[in-house]
């Protein structure tokens, strides 16, 4: 018999039909005469209840139906008498596909800590929390492609292996086939990359932006959605060494239109989640409330679904970095020395505690900060006439801080070259980037959305390691 996925099965009303379901056992309970098996196949957060009449023939089999075991069940679709679900399957035949020894299977039907589950990442997809996150992740990938397609963008694939450092921050993983135990050296003792696979030093990309710019300067509107890699040694709840980034790039576009695009995109995908992921969001909302029930009222986060709607309701606040510094300097936590990094002058980079203060306490909505000091931003950003700031824009979100970083790009050849010299960006390896400013240069802008930070926000999960299936962080490359 053809398998029906549980998501589809739960919507059926043709009671009396014979059906087949397959899945993994979440729980088994019951009495002497009857067993109730909660079966889940990942198609939805909901389980289907399988009812089995115990008899001599199935006693042995039912003993092996433990949490984690996989089953194929033939049975009759019936209207459920129990509350909470509309249908159940009255089993006529059960096949045990794979056993799970209860003395060994780590995921027992009780609450496990997220830390424990991180060590069982090969199995954690089978929990409600991680399957919900995985389904929402999928929906967001789809929604992002849908948004950009509807807006007339073309998706381009930018390289994963590259010889340039797009952010100029030197946080790159090297890619080499040289024998690390016997590295060829040049006469002056440096590594001889001429003998390496590409004949030059190469690394994993930190951003697809530079190549996306090349695309935009021909196709007008492009975006990349790819993995990016950063060898920054930050062990925080918001940093990964391998993460996914969405980077649109638009020709004939300034920083204001760039901000509009960022706001429209975020609102579109959040609305999409509300329209298509409600079962999972409701589960995650309860999970969060449960986790925070011992916190003081003012330390609890806003209810998840309310928080998503809250972001949709109002226009994001748009202020300059300089205005933000003034607000922060005069803020209560700064005066009372509550910030870990006190704000005393103009020019320092903002920490997430500052970003979150602006969003959660001061404006009580997402904030877009623009016109940052040029010395804390990348070489490619368009310089303002004041000689001090650049046309950068960062979108700051509740709970997350920076979710998007973007800018209008420097489209003037001389200014870009000057900035590259000042910031020690090697021109030899980026001649192609400079050359676009020589031939038909136009104003253009773009941004990067950290995909996992978006998922953190949408799911209310507290640690970025829990919104990607197999997180890569310093000293952690298991699975
Ligand atoms: O602000 P970033 O470094 O900007 C860029 O890479 C630009 N090239 C984007 C562009 O204009 N096309 O990174 C963009 C976003 C951040 O706002 C953050 O959401 C996310 O990427 N991000 C990280 N997410 C997880 N782990 C990390 N280590 C991240 N670093 C940045
Ligand atoms: Mg940034």
Range of the domain at 79: 6-107
Tell whether 251 and 394 lie within a shared domain.
yes
Closest CA to 200 of 165, 175, 169: 175
> Taking a C-beta distance cutoff of 8 angstroms, is the pair 244, 464 a contact?
no
Q: Which tens digit of pLDDT belongs to each residue from 321-350?
A: 999 999 999 999 999 999 999 998 999 999
Q: Among 148-162, 285-299, 460-474, whose mean pLDDT is lowest? A: 285-299
In a domain, 370, yes or no: yes
Distance CA 113, CA 260 (A): 40
Closest CA to 207 of 222, 224, 221: 224
pLDDT at 168 over 90: no
Quickly state the pLDDT bin for 429 (edges 50, 70, 90). confident
Distance CA 21, CA 3 (A): 5
What's the CATH number where 10 sits?
Answer: 2.40.50.140
Number of domains in the chain: 2
Tell whether 300 and 395 lie within a shared domain.
yes
pLDDT at 158 over 80: yes
Ligand 1 pocket check: which of 170, 245, 452 to mutate, most ligand atoms within 8 Å of Cβ? 245
Percentage of the residues of the chain whose pLDDT score is greater than 70:
100
Q: What angle do CA 250, 252, 257 make, to 5 degrees?
A: 70
Q: Which tens digit of pLDDT belongs to each residue from 120-136?
A: 999 999 999 999 999 99
- What distances in angstroms separate CA 23 from CA 98, 273, 459, 478, one per listed residue? 10, 26, 25, 26
Å from CA of 428 to ligand 1 middle:
25
In a domain, 419, yes or no: yes
pLDDT at 167 over 90: no
Tell whether 140 and 47 lie within a shared domain.
no
**What is the pLDDT at residue 356?**
93
- Report the run of H or E that residue 271 belongs to, with start and end: helix 255-276
Quickly state the pLDDT bin for 183 (edges 50, 70, 90). very high
Write out residues with Cβ below 6 Å of ligand 1.
166-167, 207, 209, 230, 239-240, 243, 245, 247, 402-407, 446-448, 450, 452-453
- What distances in angstroms separate CA 224 from CA 9, 46, 126, 444, 470, one per listed residue? 37, 34, 31, 16, 22
Place of tokens 């931003």: 377
Percentage of the residues of the chain whose pLDDT score is greater than 90:
90
Tell whether 310 and 429 lie within a shared domain.
yes
In a domain, 186, yes or no: no
In a domain, 349, yes or no: no
Arithmetic mean of pLDDT, 152-180: 94
In a domain, 28, yes or no: yes
**What is the pLDDT at residue 244?**
98
> Taking a C-beta distance cutoff of 8 angstroms, is the pair 350, 367 a contact?
no
**What is the pLDDT at residue 69?**
98
In a domain, 350, yes or no: no
In a domain, 236, yes or no: no
Give me the chain's average pLDDT, please.
96
Arithmetic mean of pLDDT, 53-75: 96
pLDDT at 17 over 80: yes
**What is the pLDDT at residue 85?**
80
Tell whether 287 and 376 lie within a shared domain.
yes
Q: What is the pTM of this model?
A: 0.96
């Amino acid at each position: 018999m053809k398998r029906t996925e549980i998501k589809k099965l739960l919507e059926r009303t043709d009671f009396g039909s014979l059906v087949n379901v397959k899945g993994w056992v979440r729980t088994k309970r019951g009495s002497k005469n009857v067993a109730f098996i909660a079966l889940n196949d990942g198609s939805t957060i909901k389980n289907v209840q399988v009812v089995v009449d115990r008899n001599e023939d199935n006693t042995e089999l039912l003993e092996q139906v433990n949490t984690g075991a996989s089953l194929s069940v033939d049975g009759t679709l019936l209207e459920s008498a129990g509350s909470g679900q509309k249908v159940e399957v009255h089993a006529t035949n059960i096949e045990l596909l794979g056993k799970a020894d209860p003395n060994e299977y780590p995921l027992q039907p009780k609450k496990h800590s997220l830390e424990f589950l991180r060590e069982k990442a090969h199995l954690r997809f089978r929990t409600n929390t991680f399957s919900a996150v995985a389904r929402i992740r999928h929906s967001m990938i789809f929604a992002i492609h849908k948004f950009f397609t509807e807006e007339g963008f073309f998706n381009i694939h930018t390289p994963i292996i590259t010889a340039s450092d797009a952010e100029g921050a030197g946080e790159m993983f090297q890619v080499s086939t040289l024998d690390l135990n016997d590295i060829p050296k040049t006469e002056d003792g440096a590594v001889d990359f001429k003998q390496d696979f590409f004949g030059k030093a190469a690394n994993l990309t930190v951003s697809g932006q530079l190549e996306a710019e090349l695309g935009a300067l021909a196709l007008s509107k492009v975006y990349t959605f790819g993995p990016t890699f950063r060898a920054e040694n930050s062990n925080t709840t918001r940093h990964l060494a391998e993460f996914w980034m969405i980077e649109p790039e638009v020709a004939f576009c300034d920083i204001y239109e760039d901000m509009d695009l960022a706001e429209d995109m975020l609102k579109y995908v959040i609305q999409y989640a509300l329209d298509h992921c409600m079962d999972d969001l409701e589960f995650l909302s309860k999970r969060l409330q449960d986790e925070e029930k011992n916190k003081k009222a003012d330390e609890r986060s806003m209810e998840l679904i309310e928080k998503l709607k809250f972001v949709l309701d109002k226009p994001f606040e748009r202020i300059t970095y300089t205005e933000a510094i003034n607000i922060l300097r005069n803020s209560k936590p700064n005066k009372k020395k509550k910030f870990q990094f006190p704000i005393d002058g103009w020019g320092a980079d903002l920490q997430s505690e500052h970003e979150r203060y602006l969003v959660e306490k001061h404006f009580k909505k997402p904030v877009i900060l623009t016109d940052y000091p040029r010395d804390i931003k990348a070489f490619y950003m368009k310089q303002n006439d004041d000689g001090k700031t650049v046309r950068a824009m960062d979108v700051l979100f509740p709970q997350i801080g920076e979710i998007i970083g973007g800018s209008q790009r420097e489209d003037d050849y001389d200014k870009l070259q000057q900035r590259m010299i000042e910031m020690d960006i090697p021109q030899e390896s980026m001649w192609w980037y400079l050359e676009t400013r020589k031939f038909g240069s136009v104003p253009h802008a773009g941004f990067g959305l950290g995909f996992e930070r978006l998922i953190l926000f949408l799911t209310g999960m507290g640690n970025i390691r829990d919104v990607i299936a197999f997180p890569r962080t310093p000293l952690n490359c298991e699975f």
